Amino acid sequence: MSTARARPSGVERFFGEDEIIVTKTDLKGRLTYANPLFLSLAGLSEAEALGQPHNIIRHPEMPRCIFKLLWDTIAAGNELFAYVCNMAVNGDHYWVLAHVTPTFDGNGGIVGYHSNRRKPRRESVERATALYRELLAEERRQGDGSAGLRASCALLERKLAATGQQYDEFVFSL
């Protein structure tokens, strides 16, 4: 596997409604398990995937505030649902409805994370894309990455407050 990141190709990959993408990570987000569907969509072998950070499949058009929300939520011991656009190693992309949960040990401590992803509804992807473009534009308007992240998080909070919904509720309303 090349260490250089591919550029987005604009080609979308799809998977079936009855298929589920499954991955597990350690506390630092490094892949400890990836099912064959994940590997196929990402264009990775198991040897290439395991031990790598899960963000190896992060699409550059995804706003970072969505991942901050995700990591803050699961690190606090809660689950999160989110629409996510991922990128294969060749630059193709695929959309998922992700359900990410912490994995607990016998004492209630978080020992890793588990994610199941399903095929999203097309109309939900279109709505999520519109929101994500706004958030990404807000990130890019700022002078640096930290300011961009803060600004897009604030914009997302304002949008959620305007709907009176938590993020999960908002996701399911799409």
pTM for the predicted model, two decimal places: 0.92
Q: pLDDT digits over 17-60, tens only? A: 999 999 999 999 999 999 999 999 999 999 999 999 999 999 99
Round to whole Å and give the CA distance between 150 and 141. 12
Residue ranges of domains in the chain:
21-120
The third-level CATH classification (topology) of the domain covering 21-120 is: Beta-Lactamase (3.30.450)
> Between the CA of residue 38 and those of 34, 78, 103, 171, what are the distances in Å?
6, 23, 19, 22
Task: Return the structure tokens found at 12.
Answer: 């979308």
Torsion of CA 166, 79, 131, 6, to 10 degrees: 170
